[in-house]
């Protein structure tokens, strides 16, 4: 406590005993000596105001104890108003409720609902819901009627621990005690149901609320976005009478979370036209949408938007981290590194974004070096996302020993519990290097139930190493977890085809037909010099430059043949003759996109191609040799990673 604060108590205000004060007030009331009564009340109010103000200034437990000593000395230890403020200050500073704050309330003889609520809230913030409920029970036994803030504290506690049943019980109490009339309680109830995984109950609460504010709408819109139900989010948003920045942000980020970047950009544009100013979260959402589109023209637009709203990547860690992710996904890892190095403030998210960016571009050692720098030269602790980046780097480079070491150190050294995504990275690492049985054994020993990503990594590895036996095990699990995802069926069919098991192929195709599943068409796209996107599908006979594209491809094949190129017919999983297989290969979408780019860009321009599926072995060889005969740098992103083709070699070292 400062000298000035001490003087505040020692001067100007005489010590007041609360019991004596009460007697004086009663006596003065009888004698109607209003002047003396006013003076005593004024003295009391001055002292109370001084104590409350001093509590606001407290920054540690020692200062609070000094204020508490003054409270006792001045005879105000029975004041619920001051003791409530004392409890809330202790809670704000993170002081455990037991033993000190709990003892503070024990001498108070007549505790009001606000004091009880402060205690309940303190336990709830700690996550000690048992004690929070216990305090609520004692409060009710003393016949104290809860206030709206009591219910909000209890409902928040239920949401924190995910106890739906208990939350529903307090929901029922709000009706019995008429606490639901408060919008704040209704909003807290929506939040509780959302955190407990019952968005249907949250919607029912919303629909039955007699009064709503923008928080009520936004909370539910954001919940629908996280749940993947953007149709309901849109329906609710369009009904919202007054759309503020938070509501627009919920829509933009919701579309981003559900991999709908075009819709995210559309809503961002609508927000700007409506005159609502974006904050850094909205701008970061816009940048993330651009990153999902993966085209350089969107990177330029994202930088413009950030500057427009006054956010500099060098000063704003949120925007800087988002731009690192954007440039990485647009194939410009060099610019991502520039952004990272220009940032004055870096946190775990900026480091994680950079590590993951380096990993997806095949620069595994740089990613691992950056991780080592972060953990040894800074005070930043790695988190779940950091290790996904590190393990991805090991997987893309086939660094088995380093991957095992990093996976083991997660929990042992850094206290990060492995998630399903980390196991997916490890299964992918082991599987890609041919350790399929070891990968399967790892899945069997997982500390959490494997999800589709884990089994999908194993199935993909079986495709690389042509192992139909383990593929059948992985596929069986995937068919149960994702019965309507056609990619799993096609992958198993391709594995059977590579093994020459055409009966197996026929069986899988019958499954696809019986389920009525439709194959996702392969597609590749490039952006021309005018910023226009050109999308290519197999054959692509409808493109206005189709004839020239075919001619360019024919000439390119002839030049590559001189270097020893031979079509890899095993990349065609169909039981057709060799001539038909060659025709299928030359129509692969990335080859069409390459020919178009060669026709429409200058010789010194880097060619960037995006593809929605994994690149086949034949196309990888084709791109590698094409970079040699044309002298062009070709950067290609498939659904797994980036490949940088230069002078006849690839950044992946032919391991992907």
pLDDT tens for residues 486-496? 889 988 998 99
Higher pLDDT pick, 375 / 26: 375
Asked if residues 259 and 292 have their Cβ atoms less than 8 Å apart, the reply is yes
d(CA 156, CA 149): 10
* Phi, psi (deg, nearest 5) at residue 436: -65, -40
Q: Where are the domains of the chain?
A: 429-515, 524-650
Closest CA to 400 of 441, 371, 432: 432
For the stretch 597-622, pLDDT in tens is 999 998 889 999 999 888 999 999 99
pLDDT higher than 50, residue 13: no
pLDDT higher than 50, residue 11: no
Assigned token pair, 652: 């992946």
What is the per-residue pLDDT for 543? 83
Tell whether omega for the bond before 99 is within 30 degrees of 0, i.e. cis. Answer: yes
For the stretch 81-135, pLDDT in tens is 888 888 888 888 888 878 877 787 777 878 888 888 888 888 888 878 788 888 8
Q: Which of 8-12, 33-37, 52-56, 104-108 has the lowest mean pLDDT?
A: 8-12
Assigned token pair, 130: 């048992």
Asked if residues 510 and 483 have their Cβ atoms less than 8 Å apart, the reply is no
Reported CATH class of domain 429-515: mainly alpha
pLDDT higher than 90, residue 149: no
d(CA 653, CA 650): 6
pTM: 0.75
Residue 449: is it exposed, middle or buried by C-beta count within 10 angstroms (0-12/13-18/19+)? exposed
Round the average pLDDT of the chain to a whole number and report it: 86
What is the per-residue pLDDT for 432? 92
Q: Which of 215-219, 301-305, 414-418, 564-568 has the lowest mean pLDDT?
A: 301-305
For the stretch 565-579, pLDDT in tens is 999 988 887 777 888
What is the per-residue pLDDT for 266? 93
d(CA 311, CA 314): 9
For 587, residues 6+ apart whose C-beta sits below 8 A from its C-beta are 538, 539, 540
Asked if residues 38 and 46 have their Cβ atoms less than 8 Å apart, the reply is no
| Number of CB atoms found within 10 A of residue 189's CB | 29
Closest CA to 365 of 598, 653, 90: 653
């Amino acid at each position: 406590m400062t000298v000035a604060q001490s003087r505040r108590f020692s001067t100007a205000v005489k010590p007041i005993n609360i019991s004596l004060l009460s007697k004086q007030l009663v006596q003065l009331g009888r004698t109607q000596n209003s002047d003396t009564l006013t003076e005593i009340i004024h003295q009391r109010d001055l002292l109370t105001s001084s104590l409350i103000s001093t509590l606001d200034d407290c920054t540690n437990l020692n200062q609070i104890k000094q204020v508490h000593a003054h409270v006792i000395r001045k005879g105000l230890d029975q004041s619920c108003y001051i003791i409530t403020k004392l409890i809330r200050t202790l809670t704000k500073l993170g002081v455990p409720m037991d033993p000190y704050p709990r003892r503070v309330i024990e001498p108070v003889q007549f505790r009001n609902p606000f004091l009880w609520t402060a205690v309940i809230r303190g336990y709830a913030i700690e996550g000690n819901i048992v004690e929070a409920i216990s305090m609520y029970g004692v409060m009710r036994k003393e016949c104290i009627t809860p206030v709206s803030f009591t219910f909000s504290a209890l409902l928040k506690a239920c949401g924190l621990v995910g106890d739906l049943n208990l939350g529903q019980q307090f929901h029922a109490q709000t009706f019995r005690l008429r606490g639901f009339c408060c919008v704040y309680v209704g909003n807290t109830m929506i939040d509780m149901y959302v955190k407990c995984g019952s968005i249907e109950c949250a919607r029912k609460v919303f629909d039955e609320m007699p009064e709503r504010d923008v928080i009520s709408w936004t909370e539910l819109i954001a919940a629908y976005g996280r749940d993947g139900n953007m149709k309901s989010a849109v329906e609710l948003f369009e009904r919202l009478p007054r759309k503020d920045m938070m509501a627009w942000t919920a829509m933009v980020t919701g579309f981003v979370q559900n991999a709908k970047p075009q819709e995210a950009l559309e809503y961002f544009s609508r927000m700007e036209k409506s005159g609502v100013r974006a904050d850094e979260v909205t701008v970061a959402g816009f940048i993330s949408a651009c990153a999902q589109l993966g085209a350089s023209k969107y990177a330029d637009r994202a930088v413009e938007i950030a500057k427009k709203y006054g956010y500099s990547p060098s000063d704003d860690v949120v925007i800087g981290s988002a731009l690192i992710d954007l440039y990485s996904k647009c194939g410009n890892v060099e610019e991502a590194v520039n952004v990272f190095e220009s940032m004055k403030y870096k946190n775990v998210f900026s480091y994680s974004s950079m590590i993951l960016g380096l990993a997806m571009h095949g620069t595994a050692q740089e990613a691992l070096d950056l991780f080592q720098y972060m953990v040894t030269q800074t005070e930043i602790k790695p988190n779940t996302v950091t290790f996904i980046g590190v393990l991805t780097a090991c997987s893309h480079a086939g660094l088995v020993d380093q991957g095992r070491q990093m996976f083991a150190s997660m929990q042992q050294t850094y206290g990060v519990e492995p998630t399903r995504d980390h196991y997916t990275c490890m299964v992918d690492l082991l599987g890609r290097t041919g350790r399929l049985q070891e990968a399967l054994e790892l899945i069997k020993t997982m500390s959490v139930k494997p999800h589709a990503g884990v089994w999908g990594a194993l199935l993909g590895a079986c495709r690389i190493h042509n192992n139909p036996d383990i593929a059948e095990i992985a596929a069986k699990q995937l068919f149960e977890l994702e019965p309507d995802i056609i990619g799993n069926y096609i992958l198993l069919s391709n594995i059977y085809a590579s093994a020459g098991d055409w009966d197996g192929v026929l069986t899988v195709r019958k499954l696809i037909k019986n389920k009525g599943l439709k194959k996702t068409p392969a597609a590749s796209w490039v952006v021309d010099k005018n910023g226009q996107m050109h999308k290519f599908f197999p054959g692509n006979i409808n493109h206005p430059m189709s004839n020239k594209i075919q001619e360019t491809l024919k000439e390119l094949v002839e030049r590559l043949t001189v270097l020893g190129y031979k079509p890899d017919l095993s990349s065609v999983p169909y039981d057709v003759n060799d001539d038909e297989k060659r025709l299928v290969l030359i129509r692969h979408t990335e080859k069409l996109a390459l020919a178009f780019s060669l026709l429409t860009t200058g010789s010194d321009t880097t060619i960037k191609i995006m593809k929605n599926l994994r690149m086949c072995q034949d196309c990888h060889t084709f791109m590698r040799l094409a970079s040699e005969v044309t002298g062009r740098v070709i950067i290609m992103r498939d659904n797994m990673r980036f490949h940088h083709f230069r002078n006849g070699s690839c950044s992946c070292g032919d391991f992907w």
